[in-house]
C-alpha cells in the first residue's frame, strides 16, 4: 500500500542535514512521494525505514544491472521526464553488434575495434558498454561459437539477439557467466525464452508488435519468474520510436503503470551511418536504456557517448575540476601563470590548448562553483578578491619568480582591481582558449622574465 507523505516523513531521520541535496527532510519527503527522488540519496536512513519505504519509494522504472562477471552497468530506475526536474540517474548503455556470420579473424578484429571505443572527455573516460551478438546465420552452432569467442575477447557486457529459443539456449550456455541480455521474448516464444533466462539468471528483453501487446507480454514474463525485464521499443522510424519511448516513460512515471515500468532497448542501426548516429543520439536523450549500434568508427560512437555524458550530468551540479594550481609540462619558476575557472569544460579547453602549445605553464583553476568565466563574472563568483584568495591558497608566489598573471580576455575589466588587490602585473590573455598557443608562443615571451 502506498504511504502518505506524513508516513514517509516519520520514517526519515528528520535532522535536516542536507546531505541528500534537499534543504530539509520535508522537502526530500515531498520528492519521494512524487517519485522524483530515491531513498538511497539519504545516507542516514535506517535499514528498517528503507524496507518500510521500499514500496512507496521504489522507482517506477525497474533498475536492471547488465554484464554478469564482465564489466557491468546499470540502467533504469529513472524518476523524471525532464532532467531539470532532478536528473537522469543511470546512463544508457551503448552496444555494438557482432554478427555470427563473421569468420574467426573478422570477429576478433571487430571485437578489438569495439574494445578500443573508449575516450577521455573533460577528464572523464566515456566508452562503449556492450557487445550484441546477432544470430544472423539463423543456426545454433555458429551463434554459440560467436558468443563464446566474444566472451573470450572482451570484458564488456554481452547481449544475444535471436528469436529462436533453441539457438539462444546454445549461445547462452557458451557465455553463461556473463549473464547475457537475452533478446528477445515475443508473444510466440516467451515461455521458452523465459525458461532459459530463469535457468541462467539472465535479463530478458520483451518484444511485441505494439505497446498494447508489450503491456500484455511483460507481466507474463514476470509471472514466469523473470524480474529483470527490458522492453524493445524500436518502432521502425525515429519518430515512432521516440513516441513509444515517451509514451512508456509517461505511463510508468505519471500513471505508475507497472507493466511498462522497465528500461527500454532500441536498435539504432541504419544503412546511412550519419542517420544511425542521429537516431542513437536522439533516443539517448529520450529515453533509451540500451542502444544498439552497428558502427565501430570513433567518429560515429564519440558523438553518441558525448550526448550521453551531457544528458546524464546533474544539471544542478556542473562537472567541476578541483580548484587548485595545475602544472602543465613540468613548468619552472619562469613559466607563465594563468587562471581560469573550475568548470570542467572551461578548464579542459584551456588545458588542452596549453598542452598543444607545448609551453610549460601553470594554470590556476579558481573555484567558481563549476561555472564558466562569463557566468561566474556576471554572478559575482569571479572577482578580484576571489582570484587573489585562490592565488594565496595555491601559494603561487612560491611557484613562479615573476609576478605576472595572465587573465581570460573575457574578464579584461578585472585588470585594474586585480592589480590593486594582488600587487601583480595583469596580462590580458585571449578571449578564446583556441588562441592560447599563439599567445603563449608570441606574446608571453615579450613579458617573460629575462635570465
Ligand atoms: Fe533529511 Fe536524510 Fe536529507 Fe538529511 S539526508 S536532510 S536526514 S532526508
Q: Establish whether residue 53 lines the binding site of ligand 1, counting it when its CB lies within 6 angstroms of any ligand atom.
A: no
Phi/psi for 160 (5° steps) reads -120, 130
The 10s digit of each residue's pLDDT in 58-82 is 678 999 999 988 899 999 999 999 9
Q: 1 pLDDT exceeds 50?
A: no
Query: Are 318 and 343 a contacting pair, CB within 8 Å?
Result: yes
Q: Is 309 exposed, middle or buried (0-12, 13-18, 19+ CB in 10 A)?
A: middle
CA distances from 332 to 337, 353, 355, 362, 398 (A): 10, 19, 15, 9, 11
Strands 229-232 and 361-366: unpaired
The 10s digit of each residue's pLDDT in 424-438 is 999 999 999 999 999
The 10s digit of each residue's pLDDT in 342-398 is 999 999 999 999 999 999 999 999 999 999 999 999 999 999 999 999 999 999 999
- Taking alpha carbons only, the member of 179, 189, 188 closest to residue 159 is 179
Query: Are 144 and 172 a contacting pair, CB within 8 Å?
Result: no
- The residue nearest atom 4 of ligand 1, judged by CA position, is 17
- Taking alpha carbons only, the member of 448, 335, 338 closest to residue 394 is 338
3-state percent helix, strand, coil for the chain, nearest multiple of 5: 45, 15, 35
DSSP secondary structure code for residue 91 in this structure: P
Q: Closest ligand 1 atom to the C-alpha of 24?
A: 6
The 10s digit of each residue's pLDDT in 195-246 is 999 999 999 999 999 999 999 999 999 999 999 999 999 998 999 999 999 9
Q: Closest ligand 1 atom to the C-alpha of 19?
A: 5
Q: Closest ligand 1 atom to the C-alpha of 25?
A: 1
Element (H, E) at 48: helix 47-57
Phi/psi for 134 (5° steps) reads -105, 135
Residue 53 alpha carbon to ligand 1 centre in Å: 14
Residue 289 alpha carbon to ligand 1 centre in Å: 29
Q: Closest ligand 1 atom to the C-alpha of 13?
A: 7
Query: Are 395 and 369 a contacting pair, CB within 8 Å?
Result: no
Residue 124 alpha carbon to ligand 1 centre in Å: 29
pTM over 0.85: no
Q: Where are the beta strands (DSSP E) in 344-431?
A: 361-366, 404-407, 425-428
Q: Establish whether residue 50 lines the binding site of ligand 1, counting it when its CB lies within 6 angstroms of any ligand atom.
A: no
Q: Where are the beta strands (DSSP E) in 215-316?
A: 229-232, 264-267, 290-293
Q: Establish whether residue 87 lines the binding site of ligand 1, counting it when its CB lies within 6 angstroms of any ligand atom.
A: no
Q: Establish whether residue 16 lines the binding site of ligand 1, counting it when its CB lies within 6 angstroms of any ligand atom.
A: yes
Report the chain's terminal Cα–Cα distance, integer Å: 78
How far apart CA 262 and CA 64 sit, in angstroms, is 8
Q: Establish whether residue 28 lines the binding site of ligand 1, counting it when its CB lies within 6 angstroms of any ligand atom.
A: yes
The 10s digit of each residue's pLDDT in 141-177 is 999 999 999 999 999 999 999 999 999 999 999 999 9
Q: Establish whether residue 433 lines the binding site of ligand 1, counting it when its CB lies within 6 angstroms of any ligand atom.
A: no
The 10s digit of each residue's pLDDT in 208-221 is 999 999 999 999 99
Q: 193 pLDDT exceeds 60?
A: yes
Strands 229-232 and 204-206: parallel
Residue 182 alpha carbon to ligand 1 centre in Å: 39
In which band, very low, low, confident or very high, does the pLDDT at 405 lie, cut at 50, 70 and 90?
Answer: very high
Question: Residue 184: helix, strand or coil by DSSP?
Answer: strand
Residue 42 alpha carbon to ligand 1 centre in Å: 5
Q: Establish whether residue 19 lines the binding site of ligand 1, counting it when its CB lies within 6 angstroms of any ligand atom.
A: yes
- The residue nearest atom 3 of ligand 1, judged by CA position, is 20
Per the structure block, which three cell numbers stand in for 222? 514476470
Per the structure block, which three cell numbers stand in for 115? 574494445
| Probe residue for ligand 1, chosen from 41, 42, 86 as the CB with the greatest number of ligand atoms within 8 Å | 42
Amino acid at each position: 500500500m502506498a504511504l502518505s507523505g506524513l508516513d514517509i516523513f516519520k520514517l526519515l531521520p528528520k535532522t535536516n542535514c542536507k546531505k541528500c541535496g534537499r534543504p530539509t527532510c520535508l522537502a526530500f519527503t515531498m520528492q519521494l512521494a512524487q517519485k522524483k527522488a530515491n531513498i538511497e540519496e539519504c545516507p542516514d536512513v535506517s535499514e528498517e525505514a528503507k524496507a518500510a519505504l521500499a514500496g512507496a519509494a521504489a522507482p517506477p522504472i525497474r533498475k536492471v544491472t547488465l554484464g554478469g562477471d564482465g564489466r557491468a552497468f546499470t540502467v533504469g530506475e529513472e524518476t523524471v521526464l525532464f532532467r531539470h526536474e532532478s536528473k537522469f540517474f543511470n546512463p544508457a548503455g551503448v552496444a555494438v553488434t557482432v554478427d555470427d556470420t563473421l569468420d574467426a579473424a573478422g570477429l576478433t578484429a571487430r571485437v578489438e575495434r569495439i574494445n578500443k571505443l573508449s575516450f577521455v572527455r573533460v577528464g572523464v573516460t566515456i566508452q562503449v558498454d556492450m557487445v550484441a551478438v546477432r544470430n544472423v546465420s539463423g543456426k545454433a552452432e555458429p551463434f554459440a561459437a560467436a558468443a563464446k569467442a566474444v566472451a573470450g575477447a572482451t570484458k564488456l557486457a554481452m547481449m544475444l539477439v535471436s528469436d529462436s529459443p533453441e539457438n539462444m539456449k546454445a549461445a547462452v550456455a557458451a557465455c553463461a557467466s556473463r549473464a547475457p541480455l537475452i533478446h528477445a521474448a515475443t508473444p510466440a516464444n516467451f515461455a521458452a525464452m523465459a525458461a532459459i533466462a530463469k535457468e541462467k539468471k539472465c535479463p530478458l528483453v520483451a518484444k511485441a508488435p505494439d505497446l498494447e501487446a508489450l503491456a500484455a507480454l511483460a507481466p507474463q514474463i514476470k509471472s514466469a519468474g523473470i524480474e529483470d525485464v527490458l522492453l524493445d521499443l524500436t518502432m521502425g522510424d525515429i519518430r515512432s520510436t521516440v513516441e513509444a519511448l515517451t509514451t512508456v516513460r509517461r505511463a510508468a512515471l505519471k500513471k505508475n503503470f507497472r507493466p511498462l515500468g522497465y528500461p527500454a532497448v532500441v536498435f539504432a542501426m541504419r544503412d546511412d551511418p550519419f542517420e544511425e548516429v542521429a537516431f542513437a543520439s536522439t533516443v539517448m536523450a529520450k529515453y533509451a536504456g540500451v542502444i544498439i549500434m552497428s558502427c565501430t568508427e570513433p567518429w560515429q560512437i564519440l558523438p553518441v557517448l558525448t550526448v550521453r555524458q551531457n544528458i546524464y550530468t546533474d544539471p544542478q551540479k556542473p562537472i567541476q575540476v578541483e580548484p587548485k594550481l595545475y602544472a602543465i609540462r613540468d613548468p619552472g619558476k619562469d613559466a607563465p601563470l594563468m587562471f581560469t575557472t573550475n568548470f570542467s569544460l572551461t578548464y579542459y579547453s584551456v588545458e588542452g590548448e596549453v598542452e598543444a602549445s607545448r609551453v610549460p605553464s601553470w594554470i590556476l583553476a579558481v573555484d567558481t562553483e563549476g561555472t564558466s568565466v562569463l557566468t561566474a563574472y556576471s554572478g559575482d563568483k569571479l572577482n578580484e578578491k576571489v582570484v587573489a584568495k585562490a592565488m594565496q591558497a595555491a601559494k603561487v608566489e612560491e611557484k613562479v619568480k615573476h609576478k605576472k598573471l595572465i587573465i581570460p580576455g573575457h574578464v579584461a575589466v578585472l585588470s585594474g582591481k586585480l592589480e590593486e588587490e594582488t600587487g601583480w602585473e595583469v596580462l590580458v590573455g585571449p578571449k578564446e582558449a583556441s588562441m592560447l598557443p599563439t599567445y603563449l608562443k608570441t606574446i608571453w615571451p615579450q613579458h617573460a622574465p629575462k635570465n
